C-alpha cells in the first residue's frame, strides 16, 4: 500500500531553540525576523496569550512583559543545520523525499496496510525527535493534498498525538468536512473568499463540486486540487530538486548606511554567500544584479532605488571573480549623501557546472581558483561559516543585522558548542 506523508516540524524555529535550551520548554517563546523586527515563530504558549504571527515586536511589548515571554533573535545557521539533519533522518525511511520548505517535507511511504502506514508515521516522529530534538507532525494520505489535510488535523487534534493516517476511506469524509477551505493546499485568500461566496466552505465541498464549475472558476490548478482530494494523484514527489533559475542574497541593514565602504562590505559578503550556494549546487552564473535601497518608511529622506546587471564572462562560481564585477556595479549605482537601508545581489543565467569551454589563456588560473574555492568551502563546513573569507573590506559593521538576542550557533561554530558542566 503506497501513500504520501507530510512531515511538518512544530513551531520550527522555537523547537530548534528548545532542543538546546530545555528551560524554554513549556514557556511562552517567540523568535524574531531579521533585525529583530517581527514575530516569525511562536510556541503554543505564546499563541495562547494572543501573540499573532508577523506582528511587529513593539506592538506586543506589554504582552511580553506581562507574561514573561522569552524573545530570541533568528539563528538561521542553527535552523538550517537542524533542518538538514531532519531531512537526513527522513531519507532513512524512503528514497523519495521532497524538501518542501525548511521545516516540511513530503515522503513516499509503503506498507502492507493502513495500520503499517500509521506505524511508520509514528516511527518517523519518534526518530526525528530522538536524533534532532525537533517535534514533528505526520499526515498521511493517498495524495499530497490529502497528506496536507491529514497534517492539519495531526497538528490541531491532540487525541491524534501528532500522527494521522487518512488513507482509510471511512475517515476521509469526516476529516474533509472538518477542514476549512482555506486550509486546503493551494487555496489562497482570494480563492477562499470566492469559494465561500459560492457555498464551498470545506475541503469536502470542493471535492464534491462539479468539474465544469471548478474549471470555469479556478482553472486547471483548482481542478487538480479537487482531484487530489478525491484520491487521484496529480502532483508527484520531486525527490530531485529542480535547478534554480537564480540565487539571491540580500538583507536589510541593522542601521542606516551611507558610506561606500560599508556597502562594499555588505555586497562582498552577499556575493560570498551566493557563490557558496552556486558551488554547493554545482552551478555557474552568467550575470549578476546588484541593488541598493533607501528606507521607504523614512518619508523625510530622499528616496532612491538603484540596480545594475552586469555579465559574468566567462560564467563562473568563483567568489573573487564575482566580487570584482559586483563591486563595479555597486560603484556605478552608489549615490553620495543618501542613507541606505538594504542591498543585495542576484545571480542569474545559471547553468550546470560541467563541460563549458574555458578561455584559452586562463585555463590554469581557473583550475587553481576552483581548487582554492573547494578548500575554502571544506574549511568553512568543518570549522564554521566565515572561518575563511574571500576579500577584506573596510567597514564599521553598521550593515550587519541586529541580532541582540541570538542564541549560540551550537552545531556550526566550534567556539559556540554547547558546554555541559557537572
CATH number for the domain running over 1-242: 3.30.70.270
**What count of other Cβ atoms lies within 10 Å of the Cβ of residue 91?**
13
Q: How confident is the model at residue 239 (pLDDT cuts 50, 70, 90)?
A: low
Q: How many helices and strands, by DSSP H and E, does the chain display?
A: 13, 13
Using one digit for the tens of pLDDT, what is the confidence trace for 296-351? 888 888 899 999 999 998 899 999 999 999 999 999 999 998 999 999 999 999 98
Residue 367's pLDDT is: 82
Q: By three-state DSSP, how is residue 58 classified?
A: helix
Alpha-carbon distance of 166 to 137, in angstroms, equals 13
The secondary structure element, H or E, covering residue 393 is none
Q: Is 35 left (phi over 0), alpha (psi -120 to 50) or beta?
A: left
Half-sphere exposure of 152 (CA within 13 A, CB side): 18
Residue 394's pLDDT is: 65
In this structure, what C-alpha cell is assigned to residue 157?
Answer: 487534534
16 exposure class (CB count in 10 Å sphere: 0-12, 13-18, 19+): buried
The residues that bridge with 105 in the sheet, in sequence order, are 7, 99
In this structure, what C-alpha cell is assigned to residue 379?
Answer: 574549511
Q: How confident is the model at residue 358 (pLDDT cuts 50, 70, 90)?
A: low
CATH for 247-383, options being 2.40.110.10, 3.30.1490.100, 3.40.50.9100, 3.30.470.10: 3.30.1490.100
CA distances (Å), origin 136, targets 29, 65, 226, 357: 18, 29, 27, 47
Alpha-carbon distance of 309 to 189, in angstroms, equals 35
Distance spanning both ends of the chain, measured CA to CA = 50
Using one digit for the tens of pLDDT, what is the confidence trace for 32-57? 998 888 999 999 999 999 999 999 99
Is the previous residue joined to 314 through a cis bond, with omega within 30 degrees of 0? yes
Domain locations in the chain?
A: 1-242, 247-383
Model confidence pTM above 0.75: yes
Q: How confident is the model at residue 232 (pLDDT cuts 50, 70, 90)?
A: very high
Q: Are 195 and 204 in contact (CB under 8 A)?
A: no
For Cα atoms 221, 226, 231, give the angle at the middle one, nearest 5 degrees: 120
Which residues, 6+ apart, have CB-to-CB distance to 396 below 8 Å? Answer: 262
- Of 18, 5, 4, 6, residue with least CA distance to 129: 18
Is 90 exceeded by the pLDDT of residue 202?
A: yes
Amino acid at each position: 500500500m503506497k501513500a504520501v506523508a507530510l512531515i511538518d516540524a512544530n513551531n520550527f524555529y522555537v523547537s530548534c531553540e528548545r532542543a538546546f535550551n530545555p528551560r524554554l520548554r513549556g514557556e511562552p517563546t517567540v523568535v524574531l525576523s531579521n533585525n529583530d523586527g517581527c514575530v516569525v515563530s511562536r510556541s503554543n504558549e505564546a499563541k495562547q496569550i494572543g501573540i499573532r504571527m508577523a506582528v511587529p515586536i513593539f506592538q506586543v511589548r506589554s504582552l511580553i512583559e506581562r507574561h514573561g515571554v522569552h524573545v530570541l533573535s533568528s539563528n538561521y545557521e542553527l535552523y538550517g543545520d537542524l533542518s538538514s539533519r531532519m531531512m537526513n533522518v527522513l531519507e532513512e525511511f524512503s528514497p523519495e523525499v521532497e524538501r518542501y520548505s525548511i521545516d516540511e517535507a513530503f515522503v513516499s511511504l509503503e506498507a502492507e496496510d493502513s495500520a503499517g502506514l500509521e506505524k511508520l508515521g509514528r516511527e518517523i516522529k519518534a526518530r526525528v525527535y530522538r536524533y534532532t530534538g525537533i517535534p514533528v507532525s505526520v499526515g498521511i494520505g493517498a495524495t499530497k493534498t490529502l497528506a496536507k489535510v491529514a497534517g492539519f488535523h495531526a497538528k490541531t487534534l491532540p487525541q491524534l498525538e501528532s500522527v494521522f493516517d487518512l488513507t482509510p476511506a471511512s475517515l476521509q469524509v469526516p476529516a474533509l468536512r472538518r477542514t476549512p477551505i482555506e486550509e486546503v493546499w493551494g487555496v489562497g485568500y482570494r480563492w477562499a473568499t470566492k469559494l465561500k461566496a459560492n457555498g464551498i466552505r470545506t475541503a469536502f465541498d470542493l471535492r464534491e463540486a462539479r468539474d465544469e464549475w471548478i474549471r470555469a472558476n479556478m482553472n486547471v490548478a483548482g481542478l487538480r486540487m479537487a482531484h487530489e482530494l478525491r484520491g487521484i494523484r496529480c502532483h508527484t514527489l520531486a525527490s530531485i530538486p529542480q535547478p534554480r533559475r537564480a540565487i539571491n542574497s540580500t538583507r536589510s541593514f541593522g542601521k542606516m548606511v551611507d558610506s561606500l565602504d560599508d556597502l562594499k562590505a555588505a555586497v562582498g559578503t552577499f556575493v560570498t554567500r551566493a557563490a557558496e550556494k552556486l558551488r554547493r549546487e554545482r552551478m555557474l552564473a552568467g550575470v549578476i544584479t546588484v541593488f541598493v535601497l533607501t528606507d521607504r518608511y523614512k518619508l523625510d529622506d530622499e528616496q532612491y532605488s538603484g540596480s545594475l546587471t552586469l555579465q559574468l564572462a566567462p560564467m563562473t562560481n568563483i567568489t573573487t571573480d564575482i566580487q570584482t564585477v559586483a563591486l563595479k556595479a555597486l560603484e556605478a549605482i552608489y549615490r553620495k549623501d543618501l542613507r541606505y537601508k538594504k542591498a543585495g545581489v542576484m545571480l542569474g543565467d545559471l547553468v550546470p557546472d560541467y563541460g563549458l569551454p574555458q578561455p584559452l589563456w586562463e585555463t590554469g588560473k581557473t583550475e587553481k581558483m576552483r581548487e582554492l574555492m573547494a578548500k575554502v568551502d571544506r574549511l568553512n563546513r568543518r570549522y564554521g561559516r566565515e572561518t575563511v573569507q574571500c576579500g577584506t573590506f573596510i567597514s564599521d559593521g553598521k550593515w550587519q543585522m541586529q541580532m541582540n538576542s541570538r542564541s549560540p550557533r551550537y552545531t556550526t561554530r566550534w567556539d559556540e558548542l554547547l558546554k555541559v558542566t557537572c
